[in-house]
A and B are shown apart, each in its own frame.
Chain A
């Protein structure tokens, strides 16, 4: 009964999306005013129905209702409750339902609160939103119905992939989806603005919170995903240039560029067409990413829910939405009036360089991800990895970071270098000193060396805008920018330190054996069998001491899950402020010895602290912008009220 209610709600929501599309299109003419009045209520109702449908699916998973096919395939009655609740988005159907739910909630929110845009632009936007939504509804209802029944119901479910039974991963997909959906909102606004030819600073102010919000979620999603891959896969790496990772990185790069160009449009009414194009590209990258991960056209270590038939469906949607939007853009772009002009030596100039560099990085990642696909069409199998991405990416990353250190110091429209020469030269002098010092003392490889030096430049450059300003009167958005840029420096430092100074040891240890790895002495005390709710494991008891200090105990495990049967290794970590000890236990070697893999990774955690800082900066900026928007709104309302009084 519950499943059928959910399905009915989903069908109703689809019908309302149709109504929303119809009303938004016909409402562009005077004759459609009646229908236009229905658009906002339709969007709100659609959001409620979708949320209800998703709620029913969560309930079905929480109760482990095995008569529902999706639950039977992905859950198990003896799974911990938290993973039962996270079950709906650990699979294809449920995650698509989550996607459309978040998307309809965003549409409902726009319909409720947005009053700044011309009504016709807003109608066109909501129509575009409904148009995109309808594709996903069709996808769900036609080829991936999450509520399908199984008759007869099996006695037990198949269980969730054990790699996914992890609290970090329970939160990972919803976070990324909020990001993707935020970009879909920006996409709809861009299409709406193109259709009604209304690309104004107001448009930029309206989409900025959505872009910022999406960008924060993407940043968090990528950071968390990277940490998950780091400790759960047990390989010690934090980024593998895997297609799935690239699929989340590409929208982030586009969103970062969009974020910056939106600021230019909002503040200076420049970069109009470019901002629109980025709005289209950012969401396109989310969809291309989804396609790559779901269709199985590229091979990935963690491609999930792979199915060529679904791939075909997504490809059709891609063609309609992205192809349509690009054609619309190509025909309309010429009719959008040119924005304000500026010189290269200005805030806008720096942001344009940033945008070009980010777009180039996006192109590099896209090319690297698709290259195997291209050569495979000619019968050659290749795999593209760090030897391509790292150096080629660095070529564009380095100038971008240099501009990042300088740009925020520049004034809008026109500035001279002489004004900011002193602090900028100081920052780069420190960078050069780090470069030489590290090269002479540590003899680092080129890329980590450059990374380390650039981290210093960006670290100093990012806080320079605070010079001579009162912290109390600093706008929250500016503080957010400083925090986010500083986060880039922190993450970069972590990456450089990890790749330059990591130490790895692989040993076959007997009980009582001691291994030295960097400043650590690790002793294998014993290996014990342990059991969890749905797994059994071999657990190594290690005692590790840092520079002869008091030993701490850590327990890496080799786990065997029995539903579904699979082996995973649970690494155990000891975290200090200056790095992590990373331990993995492998199998048994010649009877009484055990394979241990130990890493000392100096400052590796700074990568994720940096990521968190970047997201925090975004959050501060978002709060600052929303507060200003709310203030403007009250002022506007007061002015309108006064005018009404005057008329009366």
Chain B
């Protein structure tokens, strides 16, 4: 009978411990973002065809031409990409060289998207199966990478670029150029 009692209260204690764990985990901020493990490493070789006729495609060689760049991963079907469009335009106006990768997108859709929201890109590669996206460690759209002149990934911004992020990205771009 005593053993039974110990078992029962042990069960109660175990449950209490479990709920304590639940409560602890609930109070922890959840990191939903998966940081790329490619930061600090050179960009893997790739060669993407052009997405729209008015801009050339994008190859890894274009990213190692001595000039730091912003690499923006976007798609016409992505709503936050519309939200960040004005800020990409501001970055371009501030002198950033922005290249894009259109993810799982049809050319006519990309064209329509760029007509609607502006085209800040100097080159746009077309990545139909997310192969390049995955190889640089991006887990969603939109994401923006800072690439230095040697083609090394220096910084990753996950999600849409908010007004408050513009200065930070310009700062990172300047660091990458130095």
Known: A323-B12, A330-B8, A560-B77. A297 touches B129 (CB 8 A): no
Q: Is the CB of A315 within 8 A of B26?
A: yes
Q: Is the CB of B79 within 8 A of A297?
A: no
- Tell me, yes or no, whether A154 is within 8 Å of chain B by CB: no
Within 8 A of B (CB), among A422-467: none
From B13-21, B36-44, B51-59, B162-170, the one touching the partner chain is B13-21
- Closest chain-A Cβ to B172's Cβ sits at a distance in Å of 27
Q: Is the CB of B21 within 8 A of A318?
A: no
Q: Is the CB of A297 within 8 A of B26?
A: yes
Q: Is the CB of B26 within 8 A of A311?
A: yes
A327–B11 Cα distance when bound, in Å, is 9
A589–B104 Cα distance when bound, in Å, is 11
Chain B residues closer than 8 Å to A295, beta-carbon distance: 22, 26
- Tell me, yes or no, whether B33 is within 8 Å of chain A by CB: no
Chain B residues closer than 8 Å to A589, beta-carbon distance: 128-129
Within 8 A of A (CB), among B22-71: 22-26, 30
Within 8 A of B (CB), among A350-390: 370, 373-374, 376-377
Q: What does the 1/0 interface line of A315-338 toward B look like (CB < 8 Å)?
A: 100110011001101100110000
Chain A residues closer than 8 Å to B115, beta-carbon distance: none
- Closest chain-B Cβ to A323's Cβ sits at a distance in Å of 6
Chain A residues closer than 8 Å to B104, beta-carbon distance: 567, 587
A311–B25 Cα distance when bound, in Å, is 10
- Closest chain-A Cβ to B19's Cβ sits at a distance in Å of 5
A140–B77 Cα distance when bound, in Å, is 35
- Closest chain-B Cβ to A392's Cβ sits at a distance in Å of 19
Chain B residues closer than 8 Å to A588, beta-carbon distance: 128
- Tell me, yes or no, whether B95 is within 8 Å of chain A by CB: no
Q: Is the CB of A323 within 8 A of B24?
A: no
Partner of A333, one of B4, B19, B23, B24: B4
Most buried by B among A330, A374, A595: A330
- Tell me, yes or no, whether B93 is within 8 Å of chain A by CB: no
Known: A330-B8, A330-B12, A565-B77. A373 touches B21 (CB 8 A): yes
Name which residue of chain B comes closest to A306, CB basis.
Answer: B30
A334–B22 Cα distance when bound, in Å, is 30
Q: Is the CB of A326 within 8 A of B21?
A: no
- Tell me, yes or no, whether A312 is within 8 Å of chain B by CB: yes
Chain A residues closer than 8 Å to B178, beta-carbon distance: none
Q: Is the CB of B24 within 8 A of A326?
A: no
- Closest chain-A Cβ to B107's Cβ sits at a distance in Å of 12
Chain A residues closer than 8 Å to B26, beta-carbon distance: 295, 297, 308, 311-312, 315
Q: Is the CB of A291 within 8 A of B22?
A: yes
Q: Is the CB of B9 within 8 A of A330?
A: yes
**Size class of the A contact interface (CB-based, 8 Å):** 20 to 34
A201–B160 Cα distance when bound, in Å, is 63
Name which residue of chain A comes closest to B25, CB basis.
Answer: A297
Q: Is the CB of B21 within 8 A of A334?
A: no
Chain A residues closer than 8 Å to B79, beta-carbon distance: 565
Known: A326-B12, A565-B77. A377 touches B19 (CB 8 A): no
Q: Is the CB of B22 within 8 A of A326?
A: no
Chain A residues closer than 8 Å to B15, beta-carbon distance: 322-323, 326
Chain B residues closer than 8 Å to A291, beta-carbon distance: 22
**Size class of the B contact interface (CB-based, 8 Å):** 20 to 34
Chain A residues closer than 8 Å to B128, beta-carbon distance: 587-589
Partner of A297, one of B4, B8, B12, B22: B22
- Closest chain-A Cβ to B46's Cβ sits at a distance in Å of 15
Name which residue of chain B comes closest to A565, CB basis.
Answer: B77
Name which residue of chain A comes closest to B106, CB basis.
Answer: A588
- Closest chain-A Cβ to B6's Cβ sits at a distance in Å of 10
- Tell me, yes or no, whether A393 is within 8 Å of chain B by CB: no
Chain B residues closer than 8 Å to A377, beta-carbon distance: 21, 24-25
Chain B residues closer than 8 Å to A297, beta-carbon distance: 22, 25-26
Chain A residues closer than 8 Å to B12, beta-carbon distance: 323, 326-327, 330
A322–B23 Cα distance when bound, in Å, is 15
A333–B128 Cα distance when bound, in Å, is 63
- Closest chain-A Cβ to B71's Cβ sits at a distance in Å of 22
Chain A residues closer than 8 Å to B4, beta-carbon distance: 333-334
- Tell me, yes or no, whether A579 is within 8 Å of chain B by CB: no
Q: Is the CB of B77 within 8 A of A376?
A: no
Q: Is the CB of A334 within 8 A of B77?
A: no
Q: What does the 1/0 interface line of B118-157 toward A look like (CB < 8 Å)?
A: 0000000000110000000000000000000000000000
Q: Is the CB of B30 within 8 A of A308?
A: yes
- Tell me, yes or no, whether A296 is within 8 Å of chain B by CB: yes
Chain A residues closer than 8 Å to B129, beta-carbon distance: 586-587, 589, 595
Known: A308-B30, A312-B26, A589-B129. A319 touches B8 (CB 8 A): no
Partner of B30, one of A296, A334, A587: A296
A597–B74 Cα distance when bound, in Å, is 27
Chain A residues closer than 8 Å to B1, beta-carbon distance: 334
Known: A323-B12, A587-B128. A315 touches B5 (CB 8 A): no
Chain A residues closer than 8 Å to B77, beta-carbon distance: 560, 565, 567
Within 8 A of B (CB), among A614-628: none
- Closest chain-A Cβ to B18's Cβ sits at a distance in Å of 7
Q: Is the CB of B19 within 8 A of A315?
A: yes
Chain A residues closer than 8 Å to B22, beta-carbon distance: 291, 295, 297, 311, 315, 318, 373
Chain B residues closer than 8 Å to A586, beta-carbon distance: 129
Chain B residues closer than 8 Å to A587, beta-carbon distance: 104, 128-129
A609–B29 Cα distance when bound, in Å, is 43
Chain B residues closer than 8 Å to A560, beta-carbon distance: 77
- Closest chain-A Cβ to B7's Cβ sits at a distance in Å of 9
Name which residue of chain B comes closest to A327, CB basis.
Answer: B12
Within 8 A of A (CB), among B74-107: 77-79, 104
- Closest chain-A Cβ to B129's Cβ sits at a distance in Å of 6
Within 8 A of B (CB), among A549-585: 560, 565, 567
Q: Is the CB of B18 within 8 A of A370?
A: yes
Within 8 A of B (CB), among A275-334: 291, 295-297, 308, 311-312, 315, 318-319, 322-323, 326-327, 329-330, 333-334
A589–B130 Cα distance when bound, in Å, is 12
Name which residue of chain A comes closest to B10, CB basis.
Answer: A330
A330–B10 Cα distance when bound, in Å, is 10
A565–B25 Cα distance when bound, in Å, is 32
A567–B12 Cα distance when bound, in Å, is 46
A565–B105 Cα distance when bound, in Å, is 13
- Closest chain-A Cβ to B73's Cβ sits at a distance in Å of 16
Name which residue of chain A comes closest to B128, CB basis.
Answer: A587
A99–B81 Cα distance when bound, in Å, is 38
Q: Is the CB of A370 within 8 A of B19?
A: no
Q: Is the CB of A323 within 8 A of B21?
A: no
- Closest chain-A Cβ to B64's Cβ sits at a distance in Å of 26
Name which residue of chain B comes closest to A319, CB basis.
Answer: B19
Most buried by A among B11, B24, B25, B104: B25
Knowing that A323-B12, A330-B11, A565-B77 touch, tell me 19 more A-B residue pairs with CB under 8 angstroms.
A295-B22, A295-B26, A297-B25, A308-B30, A315-B26, A318-B22, A319-B19, A323-B15, A330-B5, A330-B12, A334-B5, A370-B21, A373-B25, A374-B21, A377-B25, A567-B104, A586-B129, A588-B128, A589-B128
Residues of chain B whose beta carbon lies under 8 Å from any beta carbon of chain A: 1, 4-5, 8-9, 11-12, 15-16, 18-19, 21-26, 30, 77-79, 104, 128-129
A–B pairs, 6, beta carbons within 8 Å: A291-B22, A315-B19, A315-B26, A323-B15, A330-B5, A334-B1
